[in-house]
Structure 1
Amino acid sequence: MTAEIVRPRKNVGAKGRQLSPEQAAAAAMVAEARQRGLALTGPDGLLKLFTKNVLETALNEEMTEHLGHEKNQADNGRVSTNVRNGRRSKTVVSDAAGEVSIDVPRDREGTFEPKIVRRRQRRLGEVDEMVLSLYAKGLTTGEISAHFAEIYGASISKETVSRITDKVVAEMTEWSSRPLDVVYVAVFIDAIVVKVRDGQVANRPVYAAIGVTVDGRKDVLGLWAGTGGEGAKFWMSVLVDLKNRGVSDVFFLVCDGLKGLPGVVEAVWPQTIVQTCIIHLIRNTFRLTSRRDSDAIKKDIKPIYTAPNADAALAALDDLEENWGTQYRAMIRLWRNAWNEFIPFSTTTSRSAR
């Protein structure tokens, strides 16, 4: 599979949807990528690189404040002879990113005392939410600076906080505008709620787009800060951003409950198949049912998402409705409403769930 793949228009109609051979192969790759893990957070998540970049940027600026000069820019007439003296590796633990390996700068005299990650400190504090916020488009420089001020308190000067903010904003801008691949097997879009600080603390969703490339690699394509009431206009700006950075085609876009997104996908990438994230669908299923019935329902929904084809999946859904439809109408409605976006990963379909 290459970026020059030309796919036939997907066949969508009353009789359902037939995946092309390329789409079926892409679906298999997506399933494999899911098994290997596509989380942004967690021990194997994609947040590690962001955390490493932010911490190392902050530590280097702390060293600049400590020495009084940038790297390789010491004044020959200065009184102190203290200069940078390489780096040492350190592993810290983050609640969201797991273990993160960072390089901590050293000075020749050994007097540098890092603040954002102190000596002998292993577990990070509130850095996780800050890192996600920093890389999300839509935050102001003031909000980013407020995050660092919250972390540092009075331990470093406002000028250093400002320099750290400027460096991180520059890196964030470069990262968020970098060119992307022409074709992605799948793009997963999900939301993470983080605390944003700017005078007051507020919970805001940060939307992550994680792509699976044609050779199976995972990449965070971008992060966007929302307000919680996102609609078609917001999603159009997100997808146009991705398209302007080079993404001309996506086989599958996987999301859940993001209002206005499926319609925008059709406008930006007409050939893309939108699929509901099965993890969210299962999670929402149990929110609509009693805990005492969880084990029985878990047993009854498994044949749906493990079915070998769409007909078998629909038969399993019919069985679920027969067993639980009277008691949990909302659960059945959830599955049937999501069916057209849930079923594309099955290789064939000949019946409608409605």
Structure 2
Amino acid sequence: MSIDKDLLDRLMEGRSPGDLFGKSGILSELTKALAERALNTEMTLHLDEERADGASAEDNQPPNRRNGNSQKTVTTQSGKVVLDIPRDRNGTFDPMLIAKYQRRFPEFDRKIISMYARGLTTREIQGHIEEIYGVEASPSLISAITDAVMEEVAAWQNRPLEPCYPIVFMDAIRVNIRSDGTVSNKAVFVALAILPDGTRDVLGLWFQANEGAKFWAKVLSDLRNRGVQDILIAVVDGLKGFPQAIEAVFPRTRIQTCIVHLLRHSMSFASYKDRKAIATALKAIYTAVDATEAEAALGGFEESDLGRQYPAIAPSWRRAWNEVIPFLDYPPEVRRLIYTTNAIEALNSKIRRAVRTRGHFPSEEAAAKLIYLALNATSAQWKRSVREWYAVRCQLAIMFDDRFPMA
């Protein structure tokens, strides 16, 4: 909707920026005027509906009518505004714009949640709210607003899932969580899935409570209970106990060592200036036609100047070689999907950026809340469809026959 330019010119005439946008400026007055106009319209509709229903006539009571106004201070995007809220004689009017016991417009809450999702601390949010809206937001208020998201988080974590996922990547984010007076570093596992239509989705978050098969049995049983019947390929990084657990829950799933993690591990040995050259050299291994060519590429890297400069890289690949070889049996289209880092890296970078500013969390629930909000705020970036999915889908359909669900 566009506003008449002549009207805007008249509103702005002779006024400074402070007169327009200051705490008591025209923007605040417009918010008040528009809100009160909307509230009075709501009251008119409410009274008309009651008369149409004949509620008062049934009780032999006079029709409901207006009964003056009550004042309420409401926090809006323009700061604090004192509104005249219309009242009715029977006390049945509960406006939709600002409910009876509500003291903030929903947009104000969404602003706080948006800042929280971007990793701002409570103190930083307080500062922004004070600077932009001239409103004091206490830590307890900010916590109350963001805690209201927890029901949404629980619903998301327990939502029904698709019957089959062609590929699921399991990756971990490290977070510091305070428990019993001490701060411990915990792994939060994120399951990033590729759906049959090529789009991506995060299936859930799981805090690692213990090592091994017991933990993974719980995670995979959770997926099963939420409707997952089959996973074609699970891409993981040598997770202890995972093979045994998935064998019990999804026995036909192929387990593939994550090439991305191998690359990431290799880069941890190298200086920043050499990482691009190392990545290029290692690419010859996982894009090789077969195991023989891959072995030759690894040997070539080992004998190269970079291989000699960073002697720990080649052995790390040799230790994982039995997990790398099955990867070379996949068609190039499927291989490319598994080793392309964009989706995982985009997802992880958004989560890490939000988590990094926190230092530590008071509980797992607080960490889950922030990660969920960070995922929501950036979903347009990491949910993008897989490039050239048609070619990948055709190869998966050939490999897995009737197990692959045609979208």
Alignment pair present for 1:193 and 2:183? no
Write out aligned runs for 1:114-125 (5 A). Answer: 114=108, 117=111, 124=115
**Equivalent of 1:216, from 198, 206, 215?**
198
Structure 2 distance, partners of 1:241, 1:335, is 33
String of CA shifts for 1:57-112, please: whole Å, max 9, x gaps: xxxxxxxxxxxxxxxxxxx989536699x999xxxxxxxxxxxxxxxx9769x985
In the superposition, relative to structure 1, how do residues 294 and 163 fare at CA in structure 2: closer, same or farther (>3 Å)? closer
**Equivalent of 2:315, from 323, 333, 351?**
333
Task: Name the structure 2 match of 1:242.
Answer: 223
Write out aligned runs for 1:286-297 (5 A). Answer: 286-289=267-270, 294=275, 297=278
Alignment pair present for 1:173 and 2:167? no
Q: Structure 1: where are the runs of 5+ without partners?
A: 1-75, 89-104, 131-146, 350-354
Q: Report deviation, 1:220.
A: 0.6
In the superposition, relative to structure 1, how do residues 219 and 111 fare at CA in structure 2: closer, same or farther (>3 Å)? closer
Quick check: which one's helix share is greater?
A: 2
- Aligned residue type for 1:208: V
Q: Report deviation, 1:183.
A: 0.9
Q: Which moved more, 1:286-295 or 1:202-211?
A: 286-295
- Aligned residue type for 1:183: C
Structure 1 distance, partners of 2:220, 2:119, is 24
Structure 2 distance, partners of 1:295, 1:168, is 41
Structure 1 distance, partners of 2:140, 2:270, is 52
Q: Count matched residues.
A: 236
Task: Name the structure 1 match of 2:257.
Answer: 276
- Aligned residue type for 1:215: D
Structure 1 distance, partners of 2:266, 2:187, is 22
Write out aligned runs for 1:1-354 (5 A). Answer: 80=70, 114=108, 117=111, 124=115, 127-128=117-118, 155-156=137-138, 158=140, 161-162=143-144, 165=147, 167-196=148-177, 203-226=185-208, 230-289=211-270, 294=275, 297-323=278-304, 330-347=312-329
Structure 1 distance, partners of 2:211, 2:123, is 29
- Aligned residue type for 2:224: K
In the superposition, relative to structure 1, how do residues 266 and 326 fare at CA in structure 2: closer, same or farther (>3 Å)? farther
In the superposition, relative to structure 1, how do residues 303 and 81 fare at CA in structure 2: closer, same or farther (>3 Å)? same
Structure 2 distance, partners of 1:252, 1:128, is 32
User: TM-score, with normalisation over the residues of structure 1?
Assistant: 0.52
- 2:173 aligns to what SS in structure 1? strand
- Aligned residue type for 1:346: L
Q: Report deviation, 1:284.
A: 1.0
Q: Which has the larger radius of gyration?
A: 2
In the superposition, relative to structure 1, how do residues 288 and 257 fare at CA in structure 2: closer, same or farther (>3 Å)? farther
Instruction: Report percent identity of matched pairs.
Output: 41
- Aligned residue type for 1:316: A
Q: Residues 77 and 108 of structure 2 are in contact (CA less than 8 Å); yes or no, is this contact kept in structure 1? A: no
Q: Report deviation, 1:185.
A: 0.7
Q: Report deviation, 1:218.
A: 0.6
Q: Which moved more, 1:297-306 or 1:232-241?
A: 297-306
Q: Report deviation, 1:305.
A: 1.7
Q: Residues 304 and 313 of structure 1 are in contact (CA less than 8 Å); yes or no, is this contact kept in structure 2? A: yes
- 1:216 aligns to what SS in structure 2? coil
In the superposition, relative to structure 1, how do residues 259 and 212 fare at CA in structure 2: closer, same or farther (>3 Å)? same
Structure 1 distance, partners of 2:315, 2:161, is 38
Q: Structure 2: where are the runs of 5+ without partners?
A: 1-65, 79-95, 128-135, 332-407
Structure 1 distance, partners of 2:104, 2:157, is 36
Structure 2 distance, partners of 1:160, 1:187, is 35
Structure 2 distance, partners of 1:78, 1:344, is 77
Q: Report deviation, 1:171.
A: 1.4
String of CA shifts for 1:22-70, please: whole Å, max 9, x gaps: xxxxxxxxxxxxxxxxxxxxxxxxxxxxxxxxxxxxxxxxxxxxxxxxx
Q: Residues 129 and 194 of structure 1 are in contact (CA less than 8 Å); yes or no, is this contact kept in structure 2? A: no
